Amino acid sequence: MDYQKIIEDIYEAIRPYEKEGQQATYIPELAKVNPDQYGMHLCTTRGDSASLGAADTRFSIQSISKVLSLAMCLAIKGDDLWKKIGKEPSGTAFNSLVQLEHEQGIPRNPFINAGAIVMADILLTHLDNPEQDFLRFVRAVAGNDTIDYNREVAASERETGYLNAAIANLLKYHQTIENDIESVLHLYFLMCSIEMSCRELALAFMAFADHRREFNYDGIALTSSQVKRINAIMQTCGFYDEAGEFAYLVGLPGKSGVGGGIVAIYPQQYSVAVWSPRLNSKGNSVMGLKALELLTSETKESIF
Ligand code: GLN
Protein backbone atom coordinates (compact mmCIF):
# COMPACT_ATOMS: atom_id res chain seq x y z
CA MET A 1 0.00 0.00 0.00
CA ASP A 2 1.49 3.35 -1.07
CA TYR A 3 0.31 5.42 1.91
CA GLN A 4 2.40 8.43 0.88
CA LYS A 5 0.61 8.71 -2.46
CA ILE A 6 -2.74 8.06 -0.79
CA ILE A 7 -2.36 10.83 1.82
CA GLU A 8 -1.18 13.26 -0.89
CA ASP A 9 -4.24 12.48 -3.03
CA ILE A 10 -6.48 12.84 0.01
CA TYR A 11 -5.10 16.29 0.75
CA GLU A 12 -5.90 17.45 -2.79
CA ALA A 13 -9.40 15.98 -2.54
CA ILE A 14 -10.27 17.72 0.74
CA ARG A 15 -8.88 21.17 -0.06
CA PRO A 16 -12.37 22.49 -0.87
CA TYR A 17 -13.09 22.16 2.88
CA GLU A 18 -10.04 24.05 4.10
CA LYS A 19 -11.96 27.15 5.23
CA GLU A 20 -14.83 25.24 6.81
CA GLY A 21 -15.26 25.43 10.59
CA GLN A 22 -13.55 27.52 13.22
CA GLN A 23 -10.76 26.86 15.67
CA ALA A 24 -11.56 26.60 19.39
CA THR A 25 -11.82 30.13 20.72
CA TYR A 26 -13.20 29.37 24.18
CA ILE A 27 -9.59 28.73 25.24
CA PRO A 28 -8.04 32.18 24.60
CA GLU A 29 -4.54 30.83 23.84
CA LEU A 30 -5.93 28.45 21.20
CA ALA A 31 -7.71 31.34 19.48
CA LYS A 32 -4.23 32.63 18.56
CA VAL A 33 -3.30 29.53 16.52
CA ASN A 34 -3.23 30.00 12.73
CA PRO A 35 -6.28 27.96 11.65
CA ASP A 36 -4.97 27.36 8.12
CA GLN A 37 -2.60 24.53 8.92
CA TYR A 38 -2.79 20.88 8.01
CA GLY A 39 -0.54 17.95 8.76
CA MET A 40 -0.77 14.17 8.64
CA HIS A 41 1.51 11.33 9.63
CA LEU A 42 0.94 7.59 9.38
CA CYS A 43 3.25 4.84 10.60
CA THR A 44 2.83 1.13 10.14
CA THR A 45 3.69 -1.81 12.38
CA ARG A 46 6.10 -2.88 9.60
CA GLY A 47 8.11 0.30 10.04
CA ASP A 48 6.92 2.28 7.00
CA SER A 49 5.68 5.84 7.30
CA ALA A 50 4.02 8.60 5.31
CA SER A 51 4.00 12.28 6.12
CA LEU A 52 2.44 15.43 4.74
CA GLY A 53 2.30 19.17 5.41
CA ALA A 54 2.78 20.41 8.96
CA ALA A 55 3.31 16.88 10.32
CA ASP A 56 6.14 18.10 12.56
CA THR A 57 4.40 21.17 13.99
CA ARG A 58 3.38 20.71 17.59
CA PHE A 59 -0.16 21.59 18.63
CA SER A 60 -2.30 21.31 21.75
CA ILE A 61 -3.39 17.67 21.97
CA GLN A 62 -6.25 18.56 24.37
CA SER A 63 -8.65 15.62 24.75
CA ILE A 64 -6.32 13.19 22.98
CA SER A 65 -4.48 13.22 26.33
CA LYS A 66 -7.51 11.44 27.84
CA VAL A 67 -6.39 8.17 26.19
CA LEU A 68 -3.02 8.47 27.93
CA SER A 69 -4.70 9.31 31.27
CA LEU A 70 -6.89 6.25 30.85
CA ALA A 71 -3.84 4.05 30.22
CA MET A 72 -2.21 5.36 33.37
CA CYS A 73 -5.36 5.07 35.53
CA LEU A 74 -6.10 1.52 34.31
CA ALA A 75 -2.54 0.51 35.14
CA ILE A 76 -2.92 1.98 38.63
CA LYS A 77 -6.50 0.99 39.50
CA GLY A 78 -7.33 -1.96 37.23
CA ASP A 79 -11.05 -2.71 37.00
CA ASP A 80 -11.75 -0.68 40.14
CA LEU A 81 -11.55 2.35 37.87
CA TRP A 82 -14.99 1.43 36.54
CA LYS A 83 -16.57 2.02 39.94
CA LYS A 84 -16.08 5.75 39.38
CA ILE A 85 -16.41 6.06 35.60
CA GLY A 86 -18.66 4.29 33.09
CA LYS A 87 -17.70 2.99 29.67
CA GLU A 88 -20.76 3.75 27.58
CA PRO A 89 -20.92 6.36 24.83
CA SER A 90 -22.39 9.60 26.16
CA GLY A 91 -24.22 10.87 23.09
CA THR A 92 -23.73 14.33 24.59
CA ALA A 93 -21.21 17.15 24.18
CA PHE A 94 -17.78 16.65 25.76
CA ASN A 95 -18.49 19.29 28.40
CA SER A 96 -22.14 18.49 29.12
CA LEU A 97 -23.42 18.79 32.69
CA VAL A 98 -26.94 17.44 32.24
CA GLN A 99 -26.09 13.75 32.04
CA LEU A 100 -23.66 14.01 34.95
CA GLU A 101 -26.36 15.46 37.16
CA HIS A 102 -28.88 12.86 36.05
CA GLU A 103 -26.43 10.02 36.71
CA GLN A 104 -25.43 11.27 40.15
CA GLY A 105 -21.87 12.28 39.48
CA ILE A 106 -20.65 9.14 37.68
CA PRO A 107 -19.29 10.19 34.27
CA ARG A 108 -20.48 8.08 31.33
CA ASN A 109 -16.96 7.39 30.08
CA PRO A 110 -13.32 8.47 30.52
CA PHE A 111 -13.20 10.48 27.28
CA ILE A 112 -15.69 13.20 28.16
CA ASN A 113 -14.40 16.02 30.35
CA ALA A 114 -16.14 14.74 33.49
CA GLY A 115 -14.44 11.35 33.11
CA ALA A 116 -11.05 12.90 32.53
CA ILE A 117 -11.47 15.20 35.55
CA VAL A 118 -12.11 12.08 37.67
CA MET A 119 -8.95 10.52 36.21
CA ALA A 120 -6.96 13.64 37.16
CA ASP A 121 -8.27 13.21 40.71
CA ILE A 122 -7.20 9.54 40.75
CA LEU A 123 -3.69 10.46 39.62
CA LEU A 124 -3.50 13.13 42.33
CA THR A 125 -4.50 10.58 44.96
CA HIS A 126 -2.15 7.80 43.84
CA LEU A 127 1.00 9.54 42.68
CA ASP A 128 3.59 11.50 44.63
CA ASN A 129 4.30 13.85 41.73
CA PRO A 130 1.35 13.55 39.34
CA GLU A 131 2.47 16.39 37.03
CA GLN A 132 5.95 14.97 36.55
CA ASP A 133 4.82 11.33 36.51
CA PHE A 134 2.19 11.89 33.81
CA LEU A 135 4.65 13.78 31.63
CA ARG A 136 7.31 11.11 32.11
CA PHE A 137 4.79 8.46 31.05
CA VAL A 138 3.77 10.39 27.91
CA ARG A 139 7.41 10.97 27.01
CA ALA A 140 8.13 7.27 27.45
CA VAL A 141 5.17 6.17 25.29
CA ALA A 142 6.21 8.61 22.58
CA GLY A 143 9.92 7.85 22.96
CA ASN A 144 10.61 11.58 23.06
CA ASP A 145 11.91 13.55 26.03
CA THR A 146 11.18 16.99 24.61
CA ILE A 147 7.37 16.69 24.82
CA ASP A 148 6.02 19.15 27.37
CA TYR A 149 3.03 20.93 28.86
CA ASN A 150 2.18 24.40 27.61
CA ARG A 151 1.52 26.19 30.89
CA GLU A 152 0.20 29.31 29.16
CA VAL A 153 -2.52 27.28 27.44
CA ALA A 154 -3.39 25.57 30.73
CA ALA A 155 -3.57 28.87 32.62
CA SER A 156 -5.59 30.48 29.84
CA GLU A 157 -8.06 27.59 29.94
CA ARG A 158 -8.41 27.86 33.72
CA GLU A 159 -9.30 31.54 33.43
CA THR A 160 -12.31 30.83 31.24
CA GLY A 161 -12.98 27.23 32.32
CA TYR A 162 -16.36 27.87 33.92
CA LEU A 163 -18.02 24.74 32.59
CA ASN A 164 -15.17 22.46 33.63
CA ALA A 165 -15.23 24.09 37.07
CA ALA A 166 -18.97 23.39 37.26
CA ILE A 167 -18.33 19.75 36.31
CA ALA A 168 -15.64 19.46 39.00
CA ASN A 169 -18.00 20.97 41.59
CA LEU A 170 -20.74 18.50 40.70
CA LEU A 171 -18.24 15.62 40.95
CA LYS A 172 -17.09 16.89 44.33
CA TYR A 173 -20.68 17.22 45.56
CA HIS A 174 -21.25 13.54 44.67
CA GLN A 175 -17.90 12.56 46.24
CA THR A 176 -16.62 11.08 42.99
CA ILE A 177 -13.46 13.16 43.41
CA GLU A 178 -11.44 13.32 46.61
CA ASN A 179 -8.97 16.15 46.14
CA ASP A 180 -9.66 19.86 46.24
CA ILE A 181 -11.27 21.22 43.11
CA GLU A 182 -8.52 23.69 42.20
CA SER A 183 -5.78 21.02 42.28
CA VAL A 184 -7.87 18.63 40.17
CA LEU A 185 -8.63 21.29 37.55
CA HIS A 186 -5.01 22.40 37.50
CA LEU A 187 -3.81 18.89 36.65
CA TYR A 188 -6.65 18.29 34.15
CA PHE A 189 -5.89 21.50 32.22
CA LEU A 190 -2.16 20.75 32.25
CA MET A 191 -2.71 17.28 30.81
CA CYS A 192 -4.85 18.80 28.03
CA SER A 193 -2.14 21.38 27.29
CA ILE A 194 0.51 18.85 26.21
CA GLU A 195 1.85 19.68 22.77
CA MET A 196 2.79 17.06 20.20
CA SER A 197 3.08 16.87 16.42
CA CYS A 198 1.25 14.43 14.15
CA ARG A 199 4.45 12.40 13.81
CA GLU A 200 4.88 12.22 17.59
CA LEU A 201 1.23 11.31 18.17
CA ALA A 202 1.22 8.61 15.51
CA LEU A 203 4.39 7.10 17.00
CA ALA A 204 2.98 7.26 20.54
CA PHE A 205 -0.26 5.56 19.49
CA MET A 206 1.64 2.63 18.01
CA ALA A 207 1.55 1.45 21.63
CA PHE A 208 -2.23 1.01 21.17
CA ALA A 209 -2.19 -0.01 17.50
CA ASP A 210 -0.03 -3.03 18.19
CA HIS A 211 -1.46 -4.67 21.29
CA ARG A 212 0.82 -7.71 20.84
CA ARG A 213 3.76 -5.51 21.75
CA GLU A 214 4.53 -5.26 25.46
CA PHE A 215 2.95 -2.16 27.02
CA ASN A 216 5.30 -1.02 29.77
CA TYR A 217 6.40 2.60 29.74
CA ASP A 218 8.11 4.16 32.71
CA GLY A 219 6.71 1.36 34.88
CA ILE A 220 3.12 1.88 33.66
CA ALA A 221 2.17 -1.60 32.44
CA LEU A 222 -1.00 -2.85 30.74
CA THR A 223 -1.96 -6.32 29.56
CA SER A 224 -2.73 -6.76 25.85
CA SER A 225 -6.36 -7.22 26.82
CA GLN A 226 -6.38 -3.84 28.61
CA VAL A 227 -4.83 -2.21 25.54
CA LYS A 228 -7.52 -3.74 23.30
CA ARG A 229 -10.19 -2.46 25.65
CA ILE A 230 -8.80 1.08 25.52
CA ASN A 231 -9.18 0.77 21.74
CA ALA A 232 -12.78 -0.35 22.23
CA ILE A 233 -13.49 2.76 24.28
CA MET A 234 -11.86 4.92 21.61
CA GLN A 235 -14.20 3.29 19.10
CA THR A 236 -17.37 3.89 21.12
CA CYS A 237 -16.55 7.15 22.94
CA GLY A 238 -13.65 8.87 21.17
CA PHE A 239 -15.72 11.56 19.43
CA TYR A 240 -18.37 12.46 22.04
CA ASP A 241 -21.72 12.91 20.32
CA GLU A 242 -20.10 12.19 16.96
CA ALA A 243 -18.73 8.75 17.89
CA GLY A 244 -21.40 7.02 15.81
CA GLU A 245 -20.65 9.25 12.83
CA PHE A 246 -16.91 8.52 13.11
CA ALA A 247 -17.56 4.77 13.25
CA TYR A 248 -19.89 5.11 10.27
CA LEU A 249 -17.62 7.25 8.10
CA VAL A 250 -14.15 6.10 9.18
CA GLY A 251 -14.45 2.77 10.98
CA LEU A 252 -11.39 2.98 13.20
CA PRO A 253 -10.87 3.52 16.93
CA GLY A 254 -9.73 7.10 17.41
CA LYS A 255 -9.66 10.18 19.60
CA SER A 256 -10.03 13.85 18.83
CA GLY A 257 -9.16 17.05 20.67
CA VAL A 258 -10.26 20.68 20.35
CA GLY A 259 -6.73 21.62 19.30
CA GLY A 260 -7.79 20.11 15.94
CA GLY A 261 -5.90 16.84 16.25
CA ILE A 262 -7.29 13.38 15.61
CA VAL A 263 -5.44 10.13 16.11
CA ALA A 264 -6.76 6.79 14.89
CA ILE A 265 -5.45 3.27 14.79
CA TYR A 266 -5.94 0.32 12.48
CA PRO A 267 -5.22 -2.54 14.90
CA GLN A 268 -2.02 -4.43 14.13
CA GLN A 269 -1.48 -2.35 10.98
CA TYR A 270 -0.99 1.37 11.52
CA SER A 271 -1.45 4.47 13.59
CA VAL A 272 -2.32 7.80 11.98
CA ALA A 273 -2.56 11.37 13.23
CA VAL A 274 -4.02 14.33 11.39
CA TRP A 275 -4.21 17.95 12.47
CA SER A 276 -6.12 20.95 11.25
CA PRO A 277 -7.45 23.49 13.79
CA ARG A 278 -10.81 24.31 12.21
CA LEU A 279 -13.53 22.37 14.07
CA ASN A 280 -17.12 21.44 13.37
CA SER A 281 -19.91 22.17 15.86
CA LYS A 282 -19.09 18.99 17.83
CA GLY A 283 -15.49 20.08 18.42
CA ASN A 284 -13.89 17.73 15.89
CA SER A 285 -11.49 18.79 13.11
CA VAL A 286 -13.33 19.23 9.79
CA MET A 287 -10.34 18.40 7.57
CA GLY A 288 -9.21 15.67 9.96
CA LEU A 289 -12.54 13.84 9.74
CA LYS A 290 -12.61 14.16 5.94
CA ALA A 291 -9.03 12.93 5.62
CA LEU A 292 -9.65 9.82 7.71
CA GLU A 293 -12.92 9.07 5.93
CA LEU A 294 -11.08 9.11 2.62
CA LEU A 295 -8.13 7.13 4.03
CA THR A 296 -10.27 4.14 5.00
CA SER A 297 -12.40 4.45 1.85
CA GLU A 298 -9.43 4.61 -0.56
CA THR A 299 -7.47 1.81 1.15
CA LYS A 300 -10.58 -0.30 1.87
CA GLU A 301 -8.97 -0.87 5.25
CA SER A 302 -11.02 -0.47 8.42
CA ILE A 303 -12.05 -2.66 11.32
CA PHE A 304 -15.34 -3.50 9.60
N1 GLN B 1 -9.37 21.11 27.56
C2 GLN B 1 -10.56 20.98 26.76
C3 GLN B 1 -11.79 21.23 27.64
O4 GLN B 1 -11.80 20.82 28.75
C5 GLN B 1 -10.58 19.62 26.15
C6 GLN B 1 -11.81 19.40 25.32
C7 GLN B 1 -11.57 18.64 24.06
O8 GLN B 1 -10.45 18.54 23.53
N9 GLN B 1 -12.63 18.12 23.51
O10 GLN B 1 -12.74 21.82 27.23
Residue 182 has a pLDDT of 97
Residue 18 included in any domain: yes
- Ligand 1 atom 10: residue of nearest CA: 95
- The verdict on the CB of residue 242 being under 6 Å from ligand 1 is no
Distance 103 CA to ligand 1 centre (A): 21
**Average pLDDT for residues 198-206, to the nearest whole number?**
98
Residue 255 included in any domain: yes
Residue 304 included in any domain: no
Which of 69, 186, 193, 258 to mutate to test ligand 1, by most ligand atoms within 8 A of the CB atom? Answer: 258
- Ligand 1 atom 4: residue of nearest CA: 113
Q: Give CA–CA dist 72/220, Å, rounded.
A: 6
Distance 43 CA to ligand 1 centre (A): 26
Closest to 44 measured CA to CA, from 192, 209, 285: 209
CB atoms under 10 Å from CB of 144, counted, come to: 15
Which of 94, 152, 157, 194 to mutate to test ligand 1, by most ligand atoms within 8 A of the CB atom? Answer: 94
Residue 250 included in any domain: yes
Which of 92, 95, 164 to mutate to test ligand 1, by most ligand atoms within 8 A of the CB atom? Answer: 95
Tally of domains in the chain: 1
- Ligand 1 atom 6: residue of nearest CA: 63
Q: What is the pLDDT of residues 263-302, one digit of tens each?
A: 999 999 999 999 999 999 999 999 999 999 999 999 999 9
Residue 63 included in any domain: yes
Asked if residues 105 and 54 have their Cβ atoms less than 8 Å apart, the reply is no
Whether the model clears a pTM of 0.95, i.e. scores above it, the answer is yes
Residue 269 has a pLDDT of 96
Distance 109 CA to ligand 1 centre (A): 14
Q: Is the pLDDT reported for residue 212 higher than 90? A: no
Asked if residues 27 and 152 have their Cβ atoms less than 8 Å apart, the reply is no
Residue 211 has a pLDDT of 82
- The verdict on the CB of residue 257 being under 6 Å from ligand 1 is yes
Q: In the predicted model, what is the mean pLDDT of the chain?
A: 97
Residue 118: CATH number of its domain: 3.40.710.10
What is the domain range of residue 159? Answer: 3-299
Within 6-45, strands assigned E span 39-44
Q: Give CA–CA dist 128/130, Å, rounded.
A: 6
